[in-house]
Every structure is written in C-alpha cells, then in structure tokens.
Amino acid sequence: MERGACFVGKCFLKKIVILLIALGGLLVTGCAVLTNGLSGSLYIESSKVQQIIDKAEYPAKRMQELKDDPVGAPLVKSYEMFAALMEQKNMDSSLVDSMRLSRRAFFEPWKRVSDSICNSASGELSLEIRAVYEAAFRFGIESDYDYLLKEQDSLHYEERKDVSFEDKVEFLKSSGLGEMMAHFFVVRQDVPYFVKPAKTLNELETLVTSPWEEREKYKVTNMACMEKNPLGQETLVLTKEYSTLLDAFMGVDPKYAFPFSDSNLKEDFLMVAISVVSRHWGHGFHYESFPAIMSVVFNENRTLAILNVMGSFNTGGFYSLEKRDGVWKAVAHKNTWIM
C-alpha cells in the first residue's frame, strides 16, 4: 500500500492527536495501520478516523439539539451553570440559585406528567403490585441497616438494632449512599406479572427458578405509584420521552456501546434529583432507581408473591412475600443473579 493511500492531512491529524491523548491509546480493528520502520510514523485509514471523530462530537450535537427542545432546554442550561460552578473556587451564590431554578424547570413538568400517569393506575392488581413493592422496599432498608450497623458500630449493635424505621433511614442516608440522597425515585410503570398455582411460599419459590424464564408468557400491567417511597423520595415515571431526553443529555449514541462524554460530571449534576448509573459494560445508563422491579409472580388468589428486582447495575434477586391479615410482608430476600 502506498503511503498516500491512508495518509491523514494536517487538519485531520490535529484532531486525532487530541483524541489519542484523551483516550490514552487506541486500538483500531480491521483498518489499515502501517508503521514506517525508519520514522515510526502512524497511518490510520481515514474512514476509521472520521468514525472516531463522529463519536467524540456526538454528545455535543445531542446537547445542541436539547437546547432547541422546550422540555430539555432547562436541563442543559442548568448543567452549563453547574459545570461553570465546578471551575470556581468560591461558588457564586446567584449562579447557584439560577442553576437550581433551571433544574427545577425540567423536573417539575416531569413530576406533573408522572402524577397524571400515576393517577390513571388504580385497579386492584395495580394497587396489589404497589403494596408488594413497598413491602419489599421496606424489608431491604431494614436489611441494609442491619448489615451497615454491624459493619460500622458492632459494639453498640444490640442497643441500636431496634430503633424506629425513620431512624434507620436517616442512618443509611448519613452513611453517604448517593442514591438515597436523590429527591426523586424513578420507576417504570409497566410491570410484567405471572400467576402460578401454589399453596405455600416454598412451593411458589420452587416454581420461580430464573428471573427470565417464561417471559413470553408474562402479562403486563401498570403499577400504582407510591406517593413517596419508604425513603421519602417522590416518584417520577420514566416515560419514553424522558428516557430519550436523558439519553440525549448523557450523550448516549445508539451506534456505539460506550458513551463518549463528560458523563461522570453529568451524573454528579443529576444526583441531587435522580440517581443515574452506568449500565453493565457501559451500554448507556440506568435511569430507573434501585431496587427496580423486573417482574412479579403471584399465586392464584394473590396471597403469595415472588418479586424479582434489580438491586444494582448488574445484580438482582428475589423477594418472597406473603399476605397476612390483608397486609403484604416480605419474609426473605436472596441475591440470585448477575448480568
């Protein structure tokens, strides 16, 4: 191959040098890469170079599109002020106030949309799933408190283990768990569910062995929303519109697996309002808050339930619940799967 066939011009080469520094090295598969033995010069096929540049420029293009979107524009405006504040040694209080107002201008309409959606789900099954979810949520908080207390203050475990539920929540929040500090809790309202014949919880547990089995047989219903979850967070429903807006904001490119953007700073910016977590292997982001419902299985008279939840970006498990005197109680939880 002649040198001229894959030589990159100066205007192109400048961009490549910047990108190589930012990436800390580059592996190009299936393209023509030649090294001149005397000079050590590197040549890369121009189509691959353009692909890399397109990927690097994609987040900025999406942000510009959001600026022209009446729903997304306040989020971009608020983030730009946040990024400016991060560069300041002494934060400008007026800029902080303006940033908060702009961020609120994005989340308040989302909350109104969510309330409207939530109010439409009030059937018996929708309310049942919400009650199951809330019971499992509380069980998880109790378990997390117990575990963390033993880790941090084992000497006083016995005297502190039976404090009020509210005190347990405050203890967990004070321990710096970021997702618990967010103002909102984001859910998907559509929940896959299935009914299996079982008279006891043990019997139902034996029938639910995998979180993905028989998914094609599952029906889907809308879950009634908790006004506030057990942590005191208000509910946002992750609609297709808001999922798309957040993808644009985070710089998620459907053509590439890994976001190429300042996503960490954006996660920090959003953390006050919602928890955003990178997906397994970097395939986009989780906008749903954890624990997130994957599915629920009931027995025929809906007195027993197995709730399948995603507890983190790549792990999950089952909560076993039973209805006692008309109230759902979680009795066990097992982490059973890893993605």
Per residue in 65-101, pLDDT tens?
Answer: 888 899 999 999 999 999 999 998 888 899 999 999 9
* pLDDT of 24 above 50: no
Region 112-129 average pLDDT? 91
Spatial distance between the Cα atoms of 2 and 202, rounded to a whole number of angstroms: 71
Q: Tokens representing 7? A: 């030589």
- The chain-wide mean pLDDT, for the chain, equals 81
Region 313-336 average pLDDT? 91
Residues shown for the chain: 339
> What pLDDT is recorded for position 177?
67
> What pLDDT is recorded for position 76?
94
Hey, how many other C-beta atoms are within 10 angstroms of the C-beta on 198?
A: 20
Instruction: Check the CA dihedral 67-73-79-83 and report its sign.
Output: positive
Q: Identify whether the C-beta of residue 173 lies closer than 8 Å to the C-beta of residue 180.
A: yes
Higher-scoring residue by pLDDT: 32, 314: 314
Q: Identify whether the C-beta of residue 75 lies closer than 8 Å to the C-beta of residue 62.
A: no
Which of 257, 197, 186 is closest to 226 using CA atoms? Answer: 186
CB neighbour list of residue 17: distance below 8 Å, 6 or more residues apart: none
Rounded percentage of the chain residues whose pLDDT exceeds 70? 75
Q: Tokens representing 106? A: 């994005």
> What pLDDT is recorded for position 119?
87
**Total-model pTM:** 0.78
* End-to-end CA separation in angstroms for the chain: 44
Hey, how many other C-beta atoms are within 10 angstroms of the C-beta on 158?
A: 8
Peptide bond into 291 cis (omega under 30): yes
Higher-scoring residue by pLDDT: 19, 128: 128
Spatial distance between the Cα atoms of 316 and 294, rounded to a whole number of angstroms: 9
Higher-scoring residue by pLDDT: 166, 89: 166
* pLDDT of 133 above 90: yes
| Phi/psi at 305 (5° precision) | -155, 145
Write out pLDDT tens, residues 184-227: 999 998 999 999 999 999 999 988 876 666 666 789 999 999 98
Which of 310, 130, 299 is closest to 208 using CA atoms? Answer: 299
* pLDDT of 8 above 70: no
Q: What is the dihedral of CA 57, 62, 66, 68, to 10 degrees?
A: 70
> What pLDDT is recorded for position 27?
38
Write out pLDDT tens, residues 40-73: 444 455 555 455 445 556 667 777 888 889 999 9
Most confident of 137-146, 260-269, 279-288: 137-146
Of 43-52, 103-112, 301-310, minimum mean pLDDT range? 43-52
